[in-house]
Structure 1
Amino acid sequence: MDNCIFCKIIKKQIPCHCVYEDEHALAFLDINPISDGHVVVIPKHHAEFMHELPPASIQALILAVQKVAAACTTPYNILNNNGELAGQVVKHVHFHVIPKTDNSGLRGEWKVLQEKKDFKEVQAEIFQRLK
């Protein structure tokens, strides 16, 4: 994609502080980190959503995330947003590996739905979409 900032980083048109690279994935320091060592891991294959990536790209991407996470301070957050409503800003699949050194930033807390749909109904809907 011509206007994708991550594609430009992959093509070396925009510099980055690379920490890992292989045939399918690239990992670099986030330019707006929420902790020291905050890394963005991207596939070299452009796709906006995770489910659009070819299986080989997904496998390589997850392995790259695992390698970066193993090199980070523990504990850490691994974050992936798909779509604008989910908080995705750059429309290229990416994971954030965010080392945690204190209670600031992401805490993995969310508000539980007060009114939930029937679980069997939700389960049936998901099964139908997976067919």
Structure 2
Amino acid sequence: MEDCLFCKIAAGDIPSKKLYEDEQVVAFYDIAPQAKVHFLVIPKRHIPSAAALTEEDGALLGHVFAVIAKLAREQGLDNGYRVISNVGEDAGQTVKHLHFHVLGGEKLPV
């Protein structure tokens, strides 16, 4: 999508502090961290939100969560971490591209 911020980051048109990239996903640090460790994992393919996922996206989601687990280990999040995906404006989704926030590195509020 031409005007999508995360599509531009995935394409390399907008710089980010990348943690990981492969043919399907990109992971980068959040520009306004809400925890000691806060990064995002996004698919390169534009998907507006989790509400737009279908069963055909199962392999992609499995890959996303495998990448999240790998990066969490690399970031030392051995005591735990939180994975969040906001869906829609009422939930606080500000970028209409499926993304997963990974937060950790400290005791998170319940």
Answer whether TM exceeds 0.5 for this pair: yes
Q: Deviation per CA, 1:34-93, whole angstroms, max 9, x where unpaired?
A: 123311110111111224342332222122122222223333211111111122111101
Among candidates 92, 106, 109, match of residue 107 of structure 1:
109
Distance in 2 (alpha carbons) for counterparts of 1:59 and 1:51 = 16
Looking at structure 1, the residues matched to 109 and 11 of structure 2 have their Cα atoms a distance apart, in angstroms, of 34
Structure in which a larger fraction of residues adopt strand: 2
TM-score normalised according to structure 1 size: 0.71
Partner amino acid, structure 2, of 1:34: Q
Structure 2 gap segments, 5+ residues each? none
Q: TM-score, normalised by structure 2?
A: 0.83
Q: Which amino acid aligns with 2:58?
A: P
Does structure 1 residue 71 correspond to structure 2 residue 74?
yes
Q: Which runs of 5+ in 1 are unaligned?
A: 109-131
The code of the aligned residue for 1:44 comes to K
Q: Which has the higher contact order (CA 8 A, sep 6+)?
A: 2
Aligned residue type for 2:109: R
Which residue identity is paired with 2:97? H
Residues 1:96 and 2:79 are matched in the alignment = no
Q: Which has the larger radius of gyration?
A: 1
